[in-house]
A and B are shown apart, each in its own frame.
Chain A
Protein backbone atom coordinates (compact mmCIF):
# COMPACT_ATOMS: atom_id res chain seq x y z
CA UNK A 1 0.00 0.00 0.00
CA UNK A 2 1.35 3.36 -0.99
CA UNK A 3 2.17 5.94 1.64
CA UNK A 4 -0.19 8.28 -0.22
CA UNK A 5 -3.13 5.97 0.46
CA UNK A 6 -2.79 6.54 4.23
CA UNK A 7 -4.25 9.98 3.47
CA UNK A 8 -7.40 8.48 1.98
CA UNK A 9 -8.38 5.83 4.55
CA UNK A 10 -9.96 5.93 7.99
CA UNK A 11 -11.62 3.63 10.51
CA UNK A 12 -14.49 1.65 8.93
CA UNK A 13 -16.54 1.34 12.14
CA UNK A 14 -19.86 3.22 11.74
CA UNK A 15 -19.63 4.90 15.13
CA UNK A 16 -16.21 6.32 14.20
CA UNK A 17 -17.26 7.87 10.88
CA UNK A 18 -18.02 11.26 12.34
CA UNK A 19 -15.18 11.29 14.85
CA UNK A 20 -12.17 13.46 14.00
CA UNK A 21 -9.83 10.98 15.65
CA UNK A 22 -10.68 8.12 13.24
CA UNK A 23 -8.47 9.81 10.60
CA UNK A 24 -5.62 9.36 10.07
CA UNK A 25 -5.07 5.92 11.53
CA UNK A 26 -2.00 5.31 13.65
CA UNK A 27 0.70 3.24 11.95
CA UNK A 28 2.77 0.71 13.92
CA UNK A 29 5.29 -2.01 13.17
CA UNK A 30 5.36 -1.13 9.49
CA UNK A 31 7.72 -2.74 7.04
CA UNK A 32 8.47 -0.31 4.20
CA UNK A 33 9.76 -0.99 0.70
CA UNK A 34 10.70 1.42 -2.08
CA UNK A 35 9.32 0.88 -5.58
CA UNK A 36 10.47 3.19 -8.33
CA UNK A 37 7.84 4.92 -10.38
CA UNK A 38 8.06 7.61 -13.04
CA UNK A 39 8.22 11.16 -11.59
CA UNK A 40 5.58 13.53 -12.95
CA UNK A 41 5.87 16.94 -11.24
CA UNK A 42 2.46 18.21 -12.46
CA UNK A 43 0.71 15.09 -11.20
CA UNK A 44 2.30 15.61 -7.79
CA UNK A 45 1.05 19.19 -7.67
CA UNK A 46 -2.51 18.05 -8.45
CA UNK A 47 -2.22 15.33 -5.89
CA UNK A 48 -1.14 17.79 -3.22
CA UNK A 49 -4.46 19.58 -3.62
CA UNK A 50 -6.24 16.45 -2.43
CA UNK A 51 -3.99 15.94 0.55
CA UNK A 52 -4.82 16.61 4.16
CA UNK A 53 -1.38 17.89 5.12
CA UNK A 54 -1.54 17.58 8.90
CA UNK A 55 -2.61 13.92 8.55
CA UNK A 56 0.32 13.36 6.22
CA UNK A 57 2.76 14.87 8.72
CA UNK A 58 1.31 12.72 11.49
CA UNK A 59 1.62 9.45 9.54
CA UNK A 60 5.14 10.35 8.38
CA UNK A 61 6.05 10.76 12.05
CA UNK A 62 4.53 7.34 12.89
CA UNK A 63 6.83 5.91 10.25
CA UNK A 64 9.93 7.69 11.56
CA UNK A 65 10.08 10.68 9.20
CA UNK A 66 10.14 14.06 11.01
CA UNK A 67 11.27 16.11 8.03
CA UNK A 68 8.00 17.45 6.63
CA UNK A 69 7.17 21.14 7.10
CA UNK A 70 4.11 21.80 9.30
CA UNK A 71 2.35 23.80 6.55
CA UNK A 72 1.47 22.42 3.12
CA UNK A 73 4.01 23.93 0.69
CA UNK A 74 2.86 25.84 -2.40
CA UNK A 75 4.87 24.35 -5.21
CA UNK A 76 5.30 25.29 -8.84
CA UNK A 77 6.53 22.55 -11.20
CA UNK A 78 8.28 25.20 -13.34
CA UNK A 79 10.60 26.34 -10.52
CA UNK A 80 13.78 24.32 -10.15
CA UNK A 81 13.89 24.45 -6.34
CA UNK A 82 10.27 23.39 -6.13
CA UNK A 83 10.91 20.45 -8.41
CA UNK A 84 13.47 19.17 -5.91
CA UNK A 85 10.87 19.27 -3.14
CA UNK A 86 8.32 17.60 -5.43
CA UNK A 87 10.85 14.86 -6.13
CA UNK A 88 11.20 14.26 -2.37
CA UNK A 89 7.44 14.13 -1.99
CA UNK A 90 7.20 11.72 -4.94
CA UNK A 91 9.73 9.57 -3.18
CA UNK A 92 7.72 9.54 0.04
CA UNK A 93 4.13 9.46 -1.23
CA UNK A 94 4.30 7.40 -4.39
CA UNK A 95 7.44 5.29 -4.11
CA UNK A 96 7.23 4.32 -0.45
CA UNK A 97 5.07 1.26 0.12
CA UNK A 98 3.90 -0.28 3.35
CA UNK A 99 4.36 -3.99 2.79
CA UNK A 100 3.17 -5.19 6.19
CA UNK A 101 2.00 -3.40 9.31
CA UNK A 102 -0.76 -2.35 11.65
CA UNK A 103 -3.17 0.57 11.49
CA UNK A 104 -4.95 1.55 14.68
CA UNK A 105 -8.01 3.76 15.12
CA UNK A 106 -7.37 6.54 17.62
CA UNK A 107 -11.07 6.61 18.45
CA UNK A 108 -12.10 2.97 19.03
CA UNK A 109 -8.72 1.24 19.15
CA UNK A 110 -9.59 -1.28 16.42
CA UNK A 111 -6.49 -2.71 14.71
CA UNK A 112 -6.40 -3.19 10.94
CA UNK A 113 -3.65 -5.18 9.27
CA UNK A 114 -1.69 -4.62 6.08
CA UNK A 115 -0.40 -7.87 4.61
CA UNK A 116 1.53 -8.15 1.35
CA UNK A 117 0.70 -4.55 0.64
CA UNK A 118 -3.07 -5.11 1.03
CA UNK A 119 -4.89 -3.38 3.89
CA UNK A 120 -7.87 -5.27 5.30
CA UNK A 121 -10.83 -3.17 6.44
CA UNK A 122 -13.35 -5.98 6.86
CA UNK A 123 -14.83 -5.82 10.35
CA UNK A 124 -15.70 -8.69 12.66
CA UNK A 125 -19.51 -9.18 12.86
CA UNK A 126 -19.90 -7.41 16.23
CA UNK A 127 -18.47 -4.19 14.76
CA UNK A 128 -20.58 -4.18 11.58
CA UNK A 129 -23.35 -1.53 11.22
Chain B
Protein backbone atom coordinates (compact mmCIF):
# COMPACT_ATOMS: atom_id res chain seq x y z
CA UNK B 1 0.00 0.00 0.00
CA UNK B 2 1.20 3.49 -0.85
CA UNK B 3 1.70 5.91 2.05
CA UNK B 4 -1.22 8.18 3.01
CA UNK B 5 -0.44 11.90 3.42
CA UNK B 6 -0.46 13.35 6.95
CA UNK B 7 -3.06 15.99 7.65
CA UNK B 8 -1.85 18.30 10.44
CA UNK B 9 -4.10 20.29 12.80
CA UNK B 10 -7.19 20.08 10.62
CA UNK B 11 -9.30 23.25 10.77
CA UNK B 12 -12.82 22.41 12.02
CA UNK B 13 -14.23 24.23 8.97
CA UNK B 14 -12.61 21.74 6.59
CA UNK B 15 -13.86 18.28 5.58
CA UNK B 16 -11.96 15.60 7.47
CA UNK B 17 -10.61 12.81 5.22
CA UNK B 18 -13.17 10.01 5.37
CA UNK B 19 -14.16 6.77 3.61
CA UNK B 20 -14.85 8.66 0.38
CA UNK B 21 -11.43 10.33 0.42
CA UNK B 22 -9.73 6.98 1.06
CA UNK B 23 -11.70 5.33 -1.75
CA UNK B 24 -10.24 7.95 -4.10
CA UNK B 25 -6.73 7.13 -2.89
CA UNK B 26 -7.37 3.44 -3.57
CA UNK B 27 -8.84 4.31 -6.96
CA UNK B 28 -5.63 6.08 -7.99
CA UNK B 29 -3.46 3.33 -6.56
CA UNK B 30 -5.42 0.97 -8.82
CA UNK B 31 -5.10 3.30 -11.85
CA UNK B 32 -1.37 4.00 -11.47
CA UNK B 33 -0.15 1.76 -14.30
CA UNK B 34 -2.79 2.92 -16.72
CA UNK B 35 -2.22 6.62 -15.96
CA UNK B 36 1.55 6.38 -16.23
CA UNK B 37 1.39 4.76 -19.63
CA UNK B 38 -1.51 6.91 -20.86
CA UNK B 39 0.43 10.12 -20.21
CA UNK B 40 3.86 8.63 -21.06
CA UNK B 41 6.12 10.76 -18.88
CA UNK B 42 4.50 13.95 -20.21
CA UNK B 43 3.23 16.37 -17.60
CA UNK B 44 -0.56 16.18 -17.42
CA UNK B 45 -2.59 19.04 -15.96
CA UNK B 46 -4.44 17.62 -12.97
CA UNK B 47 -7.20 19.54 -11.28
CA UNK B 48 -8.92 18.52 -8.09
CA UNK B 49 -12.26 20.22 -7.54
CA UNK B 50 -13.41 20.59 -3.93
CA UNK B 51 -10.01 19.67 -2.55
CA UNK B 52 -10.89 20.06 1.16
CA UNK B 53 -7.81 19.05 3.19
CA UNK B 54 -5.88 18.38 -0.05
CA UNK B 55 -5.28 14.74 0.87
CA UNK B 56 -6.14 13.37 -2.57
CA UNK B 57 -3.97 15.82 -4.51
CA UNK B 58 -1.08 15.32 -2.10
CA UNK B 59 -1.38 11.54 -2.57
CA UNK B 60 -1.36 11.75 -6.38
CA UNK B 61 1.62 14.12 -6.19
CA UNK B 62 3.63 11.78 -3.97
CA UNK B 63 2.70 8.44 -5.44
CA UNK B 64 1.04 8.53 -8.85
CA UNK B 65 2.13 11.31 -11.22
CA UNK B 66 4.84 13.36 -9.48
CA UNK B 67 5.95 15.47 -12.45
CA UNK B 68 2.64 17.09 -13.22
CA UNK B 69 0.92 20.42 -13.04
CA UNK B 70 -1.57 20.44 -10.18
CA UNK B 71 -4.37 22.89 -9.56
CA UNK B 72 -6.93 22.55 -6.78
CA UNK B 73 -10.14 24.48 -6.26
CA UNK B 74 -12.58 24.89 -3.41
CA UNK B 75 -15.20 27.48 -2.53
CA UNK B 76 -14.14 27.24 1.12
CA UNK B 77 -11.18 29.55 1.90
CA UNK B 78 -10.23 27.40 4.91
CA UNK B 79 -9.92 24.40 2.60
CA UNK B 80 -7.60 26.33 0.28
CA UNK B 81 -5.19 27.29 3.06
CA UNK B 82 -5.36 23.77 4.51
CA UNK B 83 -4.68 22.21 1.11
CA UNK B 84 -1.60 24.42 0.66
CA UNK B 85 -0.34 23.37 4.10
CA UNK B 86 -0.93 19.69 3.36
CA UNK B 87 1.11 19.92 0.16
CA UNK B 88 3.84 21.94 1.86
CA UNK B 89 4.09 19.40 4.66
CA UNK B 90 3.91 16.18 2.60
CA UNK B 91 5.42 17.21 -0.72
CA UNK B 92 8.43 19.37 0.07
CA UNK B 93 10.43 17.44 -2.56
CA UNK B 94 7.80 17.99 -5.25
CA UNK B 95 9.32 19.51 -8.37
CA UNK B 96 6.25 19.99 -10.55
CA UNK B 97 3.84 22.87 -10.26
CA UNK B 98 1.02 23.43 -7.79
CA UNK B 99 -1.49 26.17 -7.01
CA UNK B 100 -4.70 26.30 -4.97
CA UNK B 101 -7.52 28.52 -6.22
CA UNK B 102 -10.61 29.74 -4.40
CA UNK B 103 -13.19 29.02 -7.07
CA UNK B 104 -16.45 27.24 -7.74
CA UNK B 105 -15.85 24.04 -9.75
CA UNK B 106 -13.54 24.98 -12.66
CA UNK B 107 -15.34 28.19 -13.65
CA UNK B 108 -12.14 30.27 -13.82
CA UNK B 109 -9.98 27.65 -15.52
CA UNK B 110 -9.04 27.99 -19.20
CA UNK B 111 -11.27 25.76 -21.35
CA UNK B 112 -10.02 22.48 -22.82
CA UNK B 113 -7.04 22.41 -20.50
CA UNK B 114 -7.64 19.68 -17.93
CA UNK B 115 -6.12 16.22 -18.52
CA UNK B 116 -7.24 14.65 -15.24
CA UNK B 117 -10.14 15.97 -13.18
CA UNK B 118 -10.85 14.60 -9.70
CA UNK B 119 -13.99 15.40 -7.69
CA UNK B 120 -15.32 14.12 -4.39
CA UNK B 121 -18.43 16.31 -4.42
CA UNK B 122 -20.99 17.28 -1.80
CA UNK B 123 -23.18 14.26 -2.54
CA UNK B 124 -25.64 13.98 0.33
CA UNK B 125 -29.25 14.47 -0.86
CA UNK B 126 -30.76 17.60 0.67
CA UNK B 127 -33.47 20.13 0.01
CA UNK B 128 -31.01 22.72 -1.27
CA UNK B 129 -27.36 23.35 -1.96
CA UNK B 130 -26.28 25.78 0.79
CA UNK B 131 -25.35 29.32 -0.20
CA UNK B 132 -21.71 30.31 0.00
CA UNK B 133 -21.31 32.24 3.29
CA UNK B 134 -20.25 35.85 2.83
CA UNK B 135 -17.84 35.81 5.76
CA UNK B 136 -14.77 33.70 6.31
CA UNK B 137 -15.76 33.46 9.98
CA UNK B 138 -19.15 31.90 9.25
CA UNK B 139 -19.62 28.47 10.90
CA UNK B 140 -21.51 26.94 7.95
CA UNK B 141 -18.60 26.23 5.58
CA UNK B 142 -18.70 22.54 6.33
CA UNK B 143 -22.31 22.27 5.08
CA UNK B 144 -20.96 22.94 1.59
CA UNK B 145 -18.82 19.82 1.83
CA UNK B 146 -21.82 17.57 2.34
CA UNK B 147 -25.13 18.85 1.01
CA UNK B 148 -25.70 18.28 -2.70
CA UNK B 149 -29.36 19.27 -3.22
CA UNK B 150 -31.81 17.03 -5.06
CA UNK B 151 -30.48 13.42 -5.24
CA UNK B 152 -27.22 14.92 -3.94
CA UNK B 153 -26.49 15.60 -7.61
CA UNK B 154 -26.97 19.34 -8.14
CA UNK B 155 -23.31 20.32 -7.85
CA UNK B 156 -22.08 17.20 -9.66
CA UNK B 157 -24.44 17.81 -12.60
CA UNK B 158 -23.19 21.37 -12.89
CA UNK B 159 -19.71 19.95 -13.37
CA UNK B 160 -20.78 17.10 -15.68
CA UNK B 161 -22.76 19.44 -17.94
CA UNK B 162 -19.59 21.47 -18.55
CA UNK B 163 -17.22 18.52 -18.77
CA UNK B 164 -16.91 18.66 -22.53
CA UNK B 165 -15.53 22.22 -22.48
CA UNK B 166 -13.40 21.60 -19.38
CA UNK B 167 -11.42 18.53 -20.39
CA UNK B 168 -8.62 18.35 -22.93
CA UNK B 169 -9.00 15.95 -25.84
CA UNK B 170 -7.39 13.10 -23.87
CA UNK B 171 -8.96 14.26 -20.61
CA UNK B 172 -10.38 11.91 -17.97
CA UNK B 173 -12.65 12.74 -15.02
CA UNK B 174 -12.79 10.65 -11.82
CA UNK B 175 -15.92 11.44 -9.82
CA UNK B 176 -17.20 9.89 -6.60
CA UNK B 177 -20.87 8.92 -6.11
CA UNK B 178 -22.98 7.40 -3.36
CA UNK B 179 -25.82 5.00 -4.20
CA UNK B 180 -28.47 7.65 -3.56
CA UNK B 181 -26.98 9.70 -6.43
CA UNK B 182 -28.16 6.88 -8.76
CA UNK B 183 -24.81 6.54 -10.50
CA UNK B 184 -26.12 4.00 -13.02
CA UNK B 185 -28.64 6.53 -14.30
CA UNK B 186 -25.92 9.16 -14.47
CA UNK B 187 -23.78 6.72 -16.41
CA UNK B 188 -26.59 6.11 -18.94
CA UNK B 189 -27.24 9.82 -19.47
CA UNK B 190 -23.54 10.56 -19.95
CA UNK B 191 -23.16 7.62 -22.34
CA UNK B 192 -26.08 8.94 -24.38
CA UNK B 193 -24.08 12.18 -24.70
CA UNK B 194 -21.16 10.24 -26.15
CA UNK B 195 -18.99 9.72 -23.07
CA UNK B 196 -17.35 6.43 -22.18
CA UNK B 197 -18.01 5.61 -18.52
CA UNK B 198 -16.38 2.91 -16.33
CA UNK B 199 -16.92 2.09 -12.68
CA UNK B 200 -13.34 2.01 -11.37
CA UNK B 201 -13.99 0.94 -7.79
CA UNK B 202 -16.90 0.67 -5.37
CA UNK B 203 -17.18 -0.14 -1.68
CA UNK B 204 -19.66 -0.38 1.15
CA UNK B 205 -18.94 2.26 3.77
CA UNK B 206 -21.24 1.94 6.77
CA UNK B 207 -24.78 2.10 5.33
CA UNK B 208 -23.52 3.93 2.25
CA UNK B 209 -22.28 2.38 -1.01
CA UNK B 210 -19.65 4.57 -2.62
CA UNK B 211 -18.33 4.24 -6.16
CA UNK B 212 -15.97 6.13 -8.44
CA UNK B 213 -16.84 6.57 -12.09
CA UNK B 214 -14.38 7.46 -14.79
CA UNK B 215 -15.58 9.59 -17.73
CA UNK B 216 -13.60 9.91 -20.96
CA UNK B 217 -14.20 10.33 -24.68
Contact = CB atoms under 8 A, between A and B. Distances in A.
Interface stretch (B55-63, B97-105, B187-195, B207-215): B97-105
B81 A9 contact: no
B35 interface: no
A121 B80 CA distance: 12
Kindly name the residue among B95, B97, B108, B110 whose own CB sees the greatest number of chain A CB atoms within 10 A: B108
A37 B132 CA distance: 35
Nearest to A13: B107
Contact of B81 (A7, A46, A47, A118): A118
Interface in B68-124: 69, 71, 75, 77, 80-81, 84, 95-104, 107-111, 113
11 contacts: A1-B101, A5-B97, A5-B99, A8-B45, A11-B108, A46-B41, A50-B69, A52-B110, A118-B80, A122-B104, A123-B107
Q: How many of chain B's residues touch chain A, expressed as a range?
A: 20 to 34
A40 B97 CA distance: 11
Contact of B67 (A43, A94, A123): A43
B43 interface: yes
A122 B103 contact: yes
B43 A121 contact: no
Kindly name the residue among A1, A10, A94 whose own CB sees the greatest number of chain B CB atoms within 10 A: A10
A2 B104 CA distance: 20
A62 to B, nearest CB: 17
Given A5-B101, A8-B71, 14 more contacts: A2-B97, A10-B109, A12-B103, A17-B111, A43-B95, A46-B43, A46-B67, A47-B97, A50-B45, A118-B81, A120-B77, A121-B101, A121-B104, A121-B108
Q: How many of chain A's residues touch chain B, expressed as a range?
A: 20 to 34
Given A7-B110, A9-B109, A10-B109, A43 B104 contact: no
Contacts of B80: 118
B95 A9 contact: no
B203 interface: no
B42 interface: yes
A38 interface: yes
A5 B132 contact: no
A91 B43 CA distance: 18
Nearest to A38: B95
A17 B108 CA distance: 9
Given A2-B99, A118-B101, A122-B103, A10 B71 contact: no
Nearest to B42: A46
Interface in A8-38: 8-12, 14, 17, 23, 37-38
A119 B84 CA distance: 13
A4 B96 CA distance: 11
